Structure 1
Amino acid sequence: MELDRRLNAFRPDLAAEALKGQVEAARFVKGEPASVTGSVAALRPFPDIGRGIDTELLFGESVRVFDRANGFAWVQADADGYVGYLPEEMIGSLAKPTHRITAARTFLYPEAELRKPPIKAFSMGSLITVIGDAETRGTRYFLLAGGGAVIAAHCLPVGEAMADDYVSVATKFIETPYLWGGRSGFGIDCSGLVQLALMMVGKSAPRDSDMQASFGNAITRDELRRGDLVFWKGHVGIMEDEETLLHANGHTMTVARENFEAAVKRIGWLYEQPTGYRRIV
């Protein structure tokens, strides 16, 4: 069985050293550690800006770089193992983050002053390195290693869970635009919503819906409750309660709430009936 190219770095000319003996390649490399420096970095299956994206990496997330050529870097994300190409300009030296962004979206200001025009925007989940703090007119800011300041109330120390209930995190993305391959507060897809919300409560999850379909424990439709996942072919949603589905979807082109039974009926004509139900342990 051929290895999943989404989770294994291999090409005829080059492959990750960890795959030696599993794949054929002209050369095997360990790769070099790096961190994402762009606000959101689109990860593509090919080094072509015109190709659709598979997923996105957030500011401060770490990767292993296997190759750099023609303005692209071929990388593997440390968080979920996803492999792909991103613009080389969006990675830099490996950072040592201290905090994670908890607001759906927030700004990086040039200094501790919200009246200054922001120089970058961060999504929830982004990793930053705090080296100090400051206060302006009663608002506390964190000062970052690379320069600039963020609102301190929009951050938590790395390793500290944002909430106990990941569904409450997912609801913070309601009305966020739907984006195929999206994984940020600026645009997100169905499985990206599941993965990012779980990450913010300290739980790791696979990236794509077909991978998530074997995550947790199988349950029946009659057992559905808050936090359970419902799968269709190519789609996943989160049960907010026994009657309400929360999902990033191409129907509203947003993250939206929808009556579960109505959603099953609406989705059924195109994607048939749900293929499974899972409870996260």
Structure 2
Amino acid sequence: MFGICNLSIVPLRSEANDVSEMVSQVIFGEHFQILEKTKKWSKIKLAFDGYEGFIDNKQYEEISENLFNELENEEPIFSGDLIDFITGSENNLTTIPIGARLPFLKDSIFSINNTLYKYEGKIAGKKLTKNAIVETAYLFLNSPYLWGGKTPFGIDCSGFTQTVYKLCGYNLLRDAKQQASQGEVLSFIEECEPGDLAFFDNDEGVITHVGIIMNDYNIIHAHGKVRIDKLDHSGIYNTDTHQHSHRLRVIKKMI
């Protein structure tokens, strides 16, 4: 079985329970495989990054295997404005956040199953140059931190990096430690360029944080909010507290 998200932002939970931890979010237009289905909950695997979790059965629409495969083969198009809306066939509005997928968009019209939608906003998803990574990251400045979040209304550190890269045409995995398995290691901080990713670990050596490197050894990352701090050989130097907040583990070039 297969499905697609037809609501703006849906929580993906660690267990089949309304009060279970939100581990990520499913954004409008994201398609997925349904691994298990009970009366109220479905365990799903997102096509974009392979992430698994539980979603309420009332918060998605089932699709055929043929449609799933067509979506897999389509060059994805995403909404490019922080927030916008789509119009359904009965002129009802659905708000969508930046990064919502617009399946088979052509001449401002796209469809999910037999439902037609109209979207006239800015689009994203084409492969852009590395310079666009930092420019896109600025859109999220001051977005509040939210564990499992992937939108400007609440976002975590790896959701931030994944969404920024997605809008620029590149795929990252979901969690910081997963993203750290991608790309090419840079031996020295002096080798980094704006758009590269810096990863940070905890006392047990587990990578728990990631941010996007900017010019002049600045870094933009989600910590309380999406903010800009200084990056040095030790890690992130918080410009408000005048202390290091994260310990540098590795810098990686993704593109």
Shorter-chain TM band: 0.7 to 0.9
| 1:82 pairs with 2:60 | no
Distance 1:41 1:162, change over 3 A: farther
TM-score of the two chains, using structure 1 as the length reference: 0.72
Q: Which moved more, 1:163-172 or 1:193-202?
A: 163-172
Whose strand proportion is higher, 1 or 2? 2
List alignment gaps of at least 5 residues for structure 2: 202-207
| 1:200-253 per-position Cα deviation (integer Å, ceiling 9, x unaligned) | 222111110011122211112232321121111211111121321111112xxx
Q: C-alpha distance in 2, partners of 1:172/1:236?
A: 17
SS of alignment partner, residue 171 of structure 1: helix
Residue in 2 that maps onto 1:215: 182
| 1:236 pairs with 2:203 | no
Residue in 2 that maps onto 1:41: 10
Contact 2:197 2:211 in 1 (8 A): yes
List aligned pairs for 1:78-227, cutoff 5 A.
78-94=47-63, 99-109=77-87, 119-129=93-103, 142-145=108-111, 146-147=115-116, 149-150=118-119, 152-156=120-124, 160-161=126-127, 165-219=132-186, 220-227=188-195
Displacement of 1:121: 1.5
Q: C-alpha distance in 1, partners of 2:179/2:88?
A: 39
Residue in 1 that maps onto 2:205: none
Contact 1:74 1:86 in 2 (8 A): yes
Which amino acid in 2 is paired with 1:108? I
Displacement of 1:143: 4.2
Higher RCO by CA contacts (8 Å cutoff, separation 6 or greater): 2
TM-score of the two chains, using structure 2 as the length reference: 0.79
Distance 1:270 1:69, change over 3 A: farther
The number of equivalent residue pairs is 232
Same amino acid, percent of matched pairs: 22
List alignment gaps of at least 5 residues for structure 1: 1-31, 134-141
SS of alignment partner, residue 274 of structure 1: strand
| 1:246-274 per-position Cα deviation (integer Å, ceiling 9, x unaligned) | 11112xxx212223349724499786521
Residue in 2 that maps onto 1:260: 231
The structure with more radius of gyration: 1
